[in-house]
Amino acid sequence: MPLVAHTNLPTFDRLKNEGFEVLSCERARDQDIRELHVGLLNMMPDAALAATERQFYRLIARSNLIAQFHIHPFTLDALPRSEKAAQHIADYYENFTTIQELGLDALIITGANVTHPNLADESFWEPLAGVISWAYEYVTSTLCSCLATHAVVDHFYGINRYHLGFKRWGVFEHRVTMHDHPLVQTINSRFDVPHSRFNQIDRQQLEEAGLRVLAESDTAGVHLAVSPDLFRQVFFQGHPEYDINSLLKEYKREVGLYFNGKRHSYPPFPDNYLSMHAQAILNEYREHAEESQQHGEPLPEFPEALIIPMLDITWRDTAKAVVSNWLGIVYQITNKERSKPFMEGIDPNDPLGLK
């Protein structure tokens, strides 16, 4: 369904060139289609800021819902930004105070880089807590991704993530574990999701706090869970929004960190992501890179163009279906007066009527 280009955000032009339907405000006003206003709290670091923005815009645009989507990107002032990223935010992002006044139908919160073992010590902790507390009161549903999931379950339910001792990195198979929930009723019972994280929360931790797990992996653990009321908070521990080359770009970045002495060992391959042929090309590249490092020469050009045609994306359809289901439920139960408290006339402890 169409996105509405209600700002000059460059992402709209890029998605339009990719074939997505993007309406101007003038054209949108002529359509007899209901609007949905979705907030995007983008906390990703500068290098991934615009890419993450595009990934979530694409997921929303691929939903099957008959609605006009107005997406409202914003971020937190406490997050450090380069001059370029700060200018992008100043030019195209919105102010949270204004968003509070106008209201939202739904909210997405991205991951973020962290520098402390305890999330409460992060500079963004208090402002993030303010956003999620407001959203719980006034927004129909909040979808949290990766680090945002860890932060929200910590803040609301006292669930502490734990360090794995390694990076969970790659594409992993998952199975649906609660088949009657409307978020997963239209998806395959087995599907893939990319993960990229050092920390984890487990099924037992979630269930002891009353949350429900909808999908998990034998290897990567829980991916999809919901709050005790079954909908007001939706949690992704993986990254279904990732593009086909997102993990490859992460691998490329890790290689650069190793080459520049910012990591101790050469990075391993992401699990279940690269073909044997692609791995052979990258192993050969490693030899050239380490030889250049020994001789004080620049890092050779990364063979990204060679590898991308060898990649498969095995998670997009499921990601699209889950987000479409999520927005469909929001559409059905959202409060049309967005600045009013959550869903007047609907039981906030059981908004889906499943209990």
Round to whole Å and give the CA distance between 260 and 252.
Answer: 13
Contact 7, 92 (CB under 8 A): yes
Sign, CA torsion 82/98/111/5: negative
Annotated active-site residue in 146, 174, 223, 254: 146
144 is annotated as an active-site residue: no
Round to whole Å and give the CA distance between 307 and 309.
Answer: 6
Round to whole Å and give the CA distance between 211 and 338.
Answer: 26
Round to whole Å and give the CA distance between 174 and 193.
Answer: 7
Annotated active-site residue in 223, 239, 250, 254: 239
Q: How far is CA 265 from CA 163, 296, 299, in A?
A: 19, 18, 16
Give me the residues paired with residue 166 across strands.
Answer: none
Contact 3, 27 (CB under 8 A): no
37 is annotated as an active-site residue: no
146 is annotated as an active-site residue: yes
Annotated active-site residue in 53, 241, 250, 254: 241
Tokens of 341: 């408290």
**Catalytically active residues, by annotation:** 146, 239, 241
